[in-house]
Amino acid sequence: MIKTRTNLIKNIALTIAIIITGKVIAIIYPIKVDDYLFRYVGYLLAQGNELYHDVWDIKPPGIFYANFIYENYFSFPVLASTILELLIKISGIYPIYIISRKYILCSNKTAMLVLLFYAVLSSSSLFNKGGNYTETYVMILGLWSVYLLLLNNVSTIFLAGILISISTLFKLNGITVLISYYIYLIIMILIQSYRCNLIKIASITLGFLIPWVCIYFSFGFSRFYETIYVTFAYPVMYSVSSFHGYSAYIKNLLLTASISLVFFSCYIGCFFIAVRTMINKSRLTYIIFLCGWVVGDLLGVLLGVRLYDHYFILITASLPIALSLCITYFKFSKVTMLFVNRLVRYTLILILIVPTLGYIRLLGDASENNYWEKMTEITEYINENKHERDEIWINEYTPFMLYEIKLKSTSKYMSPINFYDFEYVQNNIQSKVLSDLTSNKPRWIVDRKYDRDGRESSFDLKLREVLRANYEDVYIGRNYIIYELNGTTY
């Protein structure tokens, strides 16, 4: 007993050490583009601007208000968000261990392997380049809501509904836990009593609705409508518009699957475990819910279509649970079990080391450094010449500049390029941007340089007319031109 407890403490310490090391490596990586966008909007909210009224983006409000807290209450917001993200990942250790040991009934050795798997997935630079991802918040809120649902009383189910609702305010994928639980309860109604399960449905639904009611009364109808749109409608439209045929999607999927055979074998295994549990009518019926959750998490990632690396942060908690389920419920022989353990450990080594080597190589990449240098020269010029009352607009999706300059964007649509996913939204927003630039006339406009082959959109040509009529170019950089409003004086 003492030896087991000692091994557990050592394993938890190793798990925490791996997570911390991974986060330190991630800090070295240049902050990603979306990260700067979240921080810039958080900064604007801290200055008293209203989300979806004074500043607008295609993402739900959760990540922006998280960054509002960092920008408003901490002197070093980047450090604050880094520490919180580290604590978020460490907090996942407890529910993963308890779910594995108490509910899946796996051995202590398997539980330790699962924790190690979680630590590597949480820290690998394969998924975690930089930080401040919406997916990190969704992952941890989903994991804790699953733990609360497994406690199986009305109050914890109600609380789980609240956590699930909050997770959807970061990204729609958070709703997979709710859908999986609904499906599980419907199955239970069919094979058990319906009254108890109907109470559970009512509890989790009520919990889910409460944050949305609070948003309605805080935001008002128009901003509440925008929140509904960017949370539920836009992600669906984004996935549909990103789909470029089955061949391209399958190619992406195969590349993703090649990361590790362990990934997809675990999910296939969970599907069969759920089916077997239903057929055998096992008393451990919550296994159906767990299997539904881990498979649903993966489907949520795959429906993202583009399959960006950071999408897979969403499964850094559910995949270790899938591994625990498969090792526990498939009765492997000792030889097979030894092979599985080695396969998992070798996979963990590859996931941890290979991307890190690529990570280090990228830090010395001249093209990557040149990309940041081009934007830095623009921010330095404006910061030397700006006034705090100035406004700016940039004809490029470069939130790095906006955050470093820290001037309000004249149009709440910070860049039309960020809305190119479907034509109606693109044209509608671009016309509003032109109207804002014509009526408000910011002191600074940063525009891209263009090739001499005449490839400019109708928006670019109309913007050029606005610049010719009211602005002069004051700085020409390697990729951008800074225009200043004529006759600006203070």
Q: Are residues 358 and 455 in the same domain?
A: no
Q: Across the chain, how many H-helices and E-strands are there?
A: 21, 5
Count how many residues are written for the chain.
490
123 or 133, greater pLDDT: 133
Q: Are residues 329 and 407 in the same domain?
A: no
For the segment 110-120, the average pLDDT, to the nearest whole number, is 86
Q: pLDDT for 270-311, tens place per residue?
A: 777 776 666 666 656 788 898 889 888 888 887 776 677 788
Residue 59 in any domain: the answer is no
How many independent structural domains does the chain possess? 2
Per-residue burial over 359-371, b if 16 or more Cβ lie within 10 Å, else e, is beeeeeeeeeeee
Residue 333 has pLDDT above 70, yes or no: no
Q: Are residues 322 and 386 in the same domain?
A: no
Q: Which of 340, 363, 386 is the last residue of a domain?
A: 363
Q: Residue 87 is encoded by which pair of tokens?
A: 């604590």
**Cβ-proximal residues to 394 (8 Å cutoff; 6+ apart), any chain:** 401, 402, 409, 414, 415, 445, 446
Q: Range of 213's domain?
A: 2-26+93-363
Residues 329, 284, 303, CA angle at the centre, nearest 5°? 70
Q: Which of 317, 335, 363 is the last residue of a domain?
A: 363
- Look over the chain and give the mean of its residue pLDDT values, rounded to a whole number: 81
Which amino acid, one-letter code, is at 350?
Answer: L
Q: Are residues 135 and 166 in the same domain?
A: yes
Residue 178 has pLDDT above 80, yes or no: yes
Confidence of residue 9 (pLDDT cuts 50, 70, 90): confident
Q: Are residues 395 and 434 in the same domain?
A: yes
Residue 105 has pLDDT above 80, yes or no: yes
- Find out whether 213 and 182 touch, Cβ atoms under 8 Å: no
Residue 134 has pLDDT above 50, yes or no: yes
Percent residues over pLDDT 70 in the chain: 76
Q: Are residues 140 and 263 in the same domain?
A: yes
DSSP state for residue 476 in the 8-state scheme = E
Q: What's the pLDDT at 63?
A: 96
Q: What's the pLDDT at 452?
A: 43
- Find out whether 410 and 442 touch, Cβ atoms under 8 Å: yes
Residue 66 in any domain: the answer is no
Residue 24 has pLDDT above 80, yes or no: no
- At 54, is the secondary structure helix, strand, or coil? coil
Which stretch of 33-47, 121-135, 253-267 has the lowest confidence by average pLDDT?
253-267
Q: Are residues 210 and 237 in the same domain?
A: yes
Q: What's the pLDDT at 453?
A: 47
Q: Are residues 265 and 392 in the same domain?
A: no
Residue 82 in any domain: the answer is no
Q: Are residues 359 and 378 in the same domain?
A: no
Q: What is the pTM of this model?
A: 0.89
Q: Are residues 355 and 383 in the same domain?
A: no
Residue 67 in any domain: the answer is no
CA 11 to the chain's CA centroid = 28
Q: Residue 286 is encoded by which pair of tokens?
A: 């919550």
Q: Are residues 425 and 353 in the same domain?
A: no
**Cβ-proximal residues to 30 (8 Å cutoff; 6+ apart), any chain:** 130, 368, 372
For the segment 67-94, the average pLDDT, to the nearest whole number, is 92
Q: Are residues 326 and 203 in the same domain?
A: yes
